[in-house]
Structure formats: C-alpha cells, structure tokens
C-alpha cells in the first residue's frame, strides 16, 4: 500500500498478493466518502510488482504509469496497458 499524488489529488495504491493493482483517489479532503476507485490492473503485462500513477492524458482517458523506470499507458476505461518507451535512452 502506498500514497501518491495524481492530478493534484492524493491517491492510494494497493497491490494484492496476485500483483493486481487498484488506485483510489480522494476528490475532497476530509470527506471519507469522496474516495473514488480509478482503475484496476487485473493481470500485469509485465513482471512489475507495482505501478506508480504519474498523470492523466489530456483527454483523461489514459493514465501514465511508472513501472520502475519504464513509462506505460493505462487505458482507464478498457484496462489495456501499452508501453510508451522501454527505458531512459528512448526519451532522447
């Protein structure tokens, strides 16, 4: 379990024993009922044990995740992951 910041909001990431990850975000601080489940990765396409949410795409339909030093897209509605780049050398 980890706390992260996503889109300026506090988010909670839980990963179960099967490495399924769930991300929850809070929209209104101090209001427990404002926690919202954003997405779940049921079966990772990689060997990563966890993902760190970084930001949403401009249309908010994709979520950029960090897997160690690798960037991935998470299709928010379709739970599909695709690799953006393999490692840091791909950024250049």
Q: What is the pLDDT of residues 11-68, one digit of tens each?
A: 888 888 777 888 888 888 888 888 998 888 776 555 556 677 778 778 877 777 777 5
Pairing of strands 81-85, 70-75: antiparallel
Return the structure tokens found at 65.
């995740």
Task: Give backbone dihedrals phi and psi of 24, rounded to 5 degrees, phi first.
Answer: -120, 145
Between the CA of residue 63 and those of 17, 30, 32, 33, 58, what are the distances in Å? 23, 25, 24, 23, 10
Comparing 1-5, 7-11, 13-17, 87-91, the range with the smallest average pLDDT is 87-91
87, pLDDT greater than 70: no
List residues bridging with 92 in a β-sheet.
none
| pTM as predicted | 0.59
Q: What is the pLDDT at residue 74? A: 57
């Amino acid at each position: 379990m980890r706390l992260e910041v996503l889109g300026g909001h506090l988010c909670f990431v839980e990963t179960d024993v099967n490495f399924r990850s769930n991300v929850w975000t809070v929209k209104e601080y101090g209001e427990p009922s404002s926690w919202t489940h954003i997405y779940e990765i049921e079966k990772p396409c990689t060997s990563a044990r966890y993902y760190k949410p970084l930001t949403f795409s401009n249309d908010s339909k994709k979520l950029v995740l960090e897997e160690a030093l690798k960037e991935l897209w998470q299709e928010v509605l379709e739970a599909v992951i695709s690799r953006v780049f393999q490692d840091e050398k791909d950024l250049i």
